[in-house]
Chains A and B, each alone.
Chain A
Amino acid sequence: MGIRKDGLKGSQLKILTEAEIEYIHKSSLKLLENIGMRIYDEDILNLLKKAGCKVNFSTKVSKASGEFIEGILKETTNQVKLCGRSFRNDINLGDGTVYARTPGGPPFITDLNTGERREGTINDVALSCKIADALENIHGISVFQVVPMDVPRMCLDVYAAKASFENTEKHLFYYTQNQDLIDYVLEMAVIVAGGEYELKKRPLLSGFCEVTSPLKLEQSQTMLLKCFVKRGLPVYTQSHPIAGITSPVTLAGEVALMNADTLMVVAISQLLNRGTPIFYGTSASVPDMRKALNLAGTVEVGLLGCALAQMANFYHLPSAMSSGIDSKIPDGQAVMERIFTALPPILAGLDLINLSTTNTKMTFSPSLLVIDNELMNWIGRLLRGITVNDETLAIDLTENVAFRNNFLSEMHTIKHFREELLESKLVSRETWDDWKNAGSQSYWQRAQDCAKIISNDHHPTPLSEEVQKGLATIVKFAEDHIK
């Protein structure tokens, strides 16, 4: 179960009207009908042709009619189950609660001891998984939460997957660095799950298929899609348009393109295997026009996330989106960027938030993860809202106490205060003097201390020796055969 949002009482933040959602939907269909998608995969092009789409094999472009897309969308499921090694870590995307995960990609890490930025190592993969495993509001972890730069470059996938399986009991999200290793990683998942059937029943791994906006699907991505779909495993798809660079600069145009990118892959996934569990993600972003560099933490990213949540809801697909940070360190800017890119989409109905890291997805920060966990606590409290009933109105109590006393030692207060008031160990609430005497720590420093404690004290249930040996064998095989 993720973070409940009963407190919203059914209302959601809406930045698109029903008519606008419909208009965007029709516009995306127009794109797919008029220009289609360029797909570097003969199998998939053949599949689309067989299904009645107009395919040009020399340009590798497949168009898709509105009827085709709308018809095939009916095959999708509105909940996607993602499992962890232990049941309590299971994610039911689309169950009406909000989940959070770490995404993959950063080749750098902020060192936990020195606070300096350095290249990520395989030990960092293990460490970061351990920390994420301990944090109650981080429900899933990317295999490449940190990209290990100290292992053979062509074998990244197997090294990172092994270290991840060993150091967390939570669900793992996988995208490929080397497409030749997809099946190796899947074999590892089979070993950890205890068999092919067990893995399909309880998918410990979900696969990532990214469209290169605008409307281009690379072979490495289709390979992963096919490998996962073949085994009945869940997949997530997203595209990463950047406003004014790989999409129109106007956000509506970006949303329409993102939507077209995604709908095509959703359709392909159902053609490959009807009923494939798939969810709708995005990394849609905007650039800094002074340098034409991608940004992850702007208010527009938050808006795009809101649009995504509403569009995915329109299609009854679970949604996911990347909240980002451009600040180089977990400071005030980082928190501001996190809030603006995470909270609005969650209020708009997002199912899964990807908490991407500092330095525009380049640097993993263990302290930030601790802060993110705390932020999700705050968001969780916000989403619980204000419960209104006779007990909480407590009119009798007020009548009794009003002119006599205060409420502090009343049974009602004792009964309710722990649930009503969120306790926050991480933020500073003490008096100035107490704060000074305790060392004048910043929020970041306290988070760093917390991360250090977790890294020392938390121990995920280890894999059996047999499983560990199995994983090591696969890594060795990859090293010997993949150049």
Chain B
Amino acid sequence: MQVLQKISEELQKGNFIEVPKLIQKALDTEIPPSKILSDGLVAGMDVVGERFRCDEIFIPEVLISAKAMHAGMDVLRPKLIETGTKLVGKIVLGAVRGDFHDIGKNIVGMMMEGAGYQVIDLGVDVTTEKFVKAVESNRPNILGLSALLTTTMPMMKLVIEALVEAGVRNSVKVMVGGAPITEKFAKEIGADGYAPDAASAVEKVRHLSG
């Protein structure tokens, strides 16, 4: 399948203009959407992932490929849903109430898109209620909470408690991150996972999603 090979190659180059065009071309030639996903996009991201793990490429290069993946998925996702293909998953992200730092969260979001996840980013200073509503309406696999300040860290526990109260705690895996966050803190507040940086966050999410 030449076009699928081309999708993989252009994705590896981070060509976010070309990849959606090629996806459309592949759809027009009636290649099944699930095959375009597996042999085109995912195949490309697998190579990217491997090169990243070997330190051949770094985060910026992964991110432009993720951008191309995201652009490709915008075209492909509706077709995948139509044909009933199981999607990788949905993740809701946000910085907790009182915290306006978003760089880390944004990078995590971009990496997740690279891994094929649909990312709903609630932004910064997100209230507990807003997190709960987002979980209820989007039914994500993962809820990611970020905080950079020692004063906003306690909000993470409040979000988890609110999920319990709303009866949706078991429907979602909660991950936490941010510079002052530790594995120990994550366990203490009842989170399901923690990762120290964006790349290992993707690995952890994959692991939690099963």
Which residues in chain B, 159-210, are within 8 Å of chain A measured between CB atoms?
179-180, 196-199
CB distance from B52 to the nearest CB of A (A): 8
A residues less than 8 Å from B179 (CB atoms): 294, 360, 362
Of A289, A293, A362, the contact of B60 (CB 8 Å cutoff)? A289
Does A16 touch B at the CB level, under 8 Å?
Answer: no
Do B151 and A178 touch across chains, with their CB atoms under 8 A apart? yes
A-B pairs with CB below 8 Å: how many? 44
Query: B97-124 interface mask toward A, CB cutoff 8 Å, 1 = contact, 0 = none?
Result: 0001101100100000000000000000
Q: Which of B112-169 contact A (CB under 8 A)?
A: 149-151, 153-154
| Contact A177–B180 (Cβ < 8 Å) | no
Query: Restricting to A193-226, which residues have a CB under 8 Å from any CB of B?
Result: 212, 218
Chain A contact residues: helix, strand, loop or mixed: loop
CB of B67, distance to nearest CB on chain A (Å): 15
With A107-B180, A289-B58, A292-B198 as known contacts, state yes or no: A177 contacts B150, CB within 8 Å.
Answer: yes
B28 at the interface (CB under 8 A from A): no
User: Closest chain A residue to B154 by CB distance?
Assistant: A153
Q: Kindly state whether residue A268 has any CB partner on chain B within 8 Å.
A: no
Chain B residues closer than 8 Å to A245, beta-carbon distance? 103, 107
Decide if B30 is an interface residue (CB 8 Å cutoff). Answer: no
Chain B residues with CB under 8 Å of A96's CB are none
Cβ of B199: which chain A residues have Cβ within 8 Å of it? 291
What is the CB-to-nearest-CB distance from A123 to chain B, in angstroms, rounded to a whole number? Answer: 17
Kindly name the residue among B55, B101, B103 whose own CB sees the greatest number of chain A CB atoms within 10 A: B103
Assembled-state Cα–Cα distance A156/B149 (Å): 12
B201 to chain A, nearest CB (A): 10
Residue ID in chain A nearest B102 by CB atoms: A212
The minimal Cβ–Cβ distance linking A464 to chain B, given in whole angstroms, is 31
> In the complex, which residues 49-84 of chain B have their Cβ closer than 8 Å to any Cβ of chain A?
55, 58-60
Residue of B nearest to A360 (CB): B179
B interface list, Cβ under 8 A from A: 55, 58-60, 100-101, 103-104, 107, 149-151, 153-154, 179-180, 196-199
Contacts of A212 in B (CB 8 A): 100-101
Give the CA-CA distance A360 to B197 in the complex, in Å. Answer: 14
Q: Is the CB of A177 within 8 A of B103?
A: no
User: CA–CA, A193 to B60, complex, Å?
Assistant: 51
- Is A153 a contact of B60 with CB atoms below 8 Å? no
- Check if B60 sits within 8 Å of A154, measured CB to CB: no
Chain B residue contacts of A292, Cβ below 8 A: 59, 104, 107, 197-198
A177 touches B151 (CB 8 A): yes
Task: Report the minimum CB–CB distance from A316 to chain B (whole Å).
Answer: 33
Given contacts A153-B151, A292-B104, A362-B180, 9 further A-B contacts (CB under 8 A): A153-B153, A156-B150, A218-B100, A242-B103, A245-B107, A246-B103, A292-B197, A292-B198, A362-B179
A246 to B103, CA, bound (A): 8
Q: Which residues of A contact B (CB under 8 A)?
A: 107, 147, 149, 153-154, 156, 177-178, 212, 218, 242, 244-246, 289-294, 360, 362
A245 to B60, CA, bound (A): 9
Given contacts A153-B154, A177-B151, contact A244 B198 (CB under 8 A): no
Residue of B nearest to A219 (CB): B100
CB of B98 to closest CB in A, whole Å: 9
- Would you call A291 and B197 a contact (CB within 8 A)? yes
Q: How far is the CA of A154 from the CA of B158 in the complex (A)?
A: 15
Kindly state the separation between the CA atoms of A235 and B198 in the bound complex, as whole angstroms.
35
A245 to B197, CA, bound (A): 14
Q: Could you tell me if B151 and A290 are in contact, using CB atoms closer than 8 angstroms? A: no
Contacting pair A244 B60 (CB below 8 A): yes
Cβ distance B86 to chain A, nearest Cβ, rounded Å: 30
B107: nearest chain-A partner, CB-CB = A292
Bound complex: CA A177 to CA B99 (Å): 11
A364 to B55, CA, bound (A): 31
**Given A218-B100, A245-B103, A246-B103, are A293 and B197 neighbors across the interface (CB < 8 Å)?**
yes
Instruction: Give A294's nearest chain B residue, CB to CB.
Output: B179
CA distance A360 to B179 in the complex (A): 10
Q: Let me know if A290 and B150 touch, CB within 8 A.
A: no
Which B residues touch A289, using CB under 8 A?
58-60
Contacts of B153 in A (CB 8 A): 153
By the criterion CB–CB under 8 Å, are A154 and B197 in contact?
Answer: no
Question: What are 24 of the A-B contact pairs (CB < 8 Å)?
Answer: A107-B150, A107-B180, A149-B150, A153-B151, A153-B154, A156-B150, A156-B151, A177-B149, A177-B150, A178-B151, A212-B100, A244-B60, A245-B103, A246-B103, A289-B58, A290-B58, A290-B59, A291-B59, A291-B197, A291-B199, A292-B104, A292-B197, A292-B198, A362-B179
B107 cross-chain contacts in A, Cβ below 8 A:
245, 292
Report the nearest B residue to A242, measured CB to CB: B103
Residue of B nearest to A249 (CB): B60
Closest 4 CB pairs of A and B: A289-B58, A291-B197, A292-B59, A177-B151
* Closest beta carbon of chain B to A244's beta carbon, Å: 7
B195 CB to nearest A CB, Å: 11
Which B residues are CB-close (under 8 A) to A154?
151
Rounded to whole angstroms, the CA-CA distance of A147 and B179 in the bound complex is 14
CA distance in complex: A107, B58 (Å) = 29
Q: How far is the CB of B74 from chain A (nearest CB, A)?
A: 24
**A177–B152 Cα gap in the complex (Å)?**
9
Question: How many Å lie between the Cα of A212 and that of B103 in the bound state?
Answer: 11
CB-CB under 8 A from A291, the residues of chain B are 59, 197-199
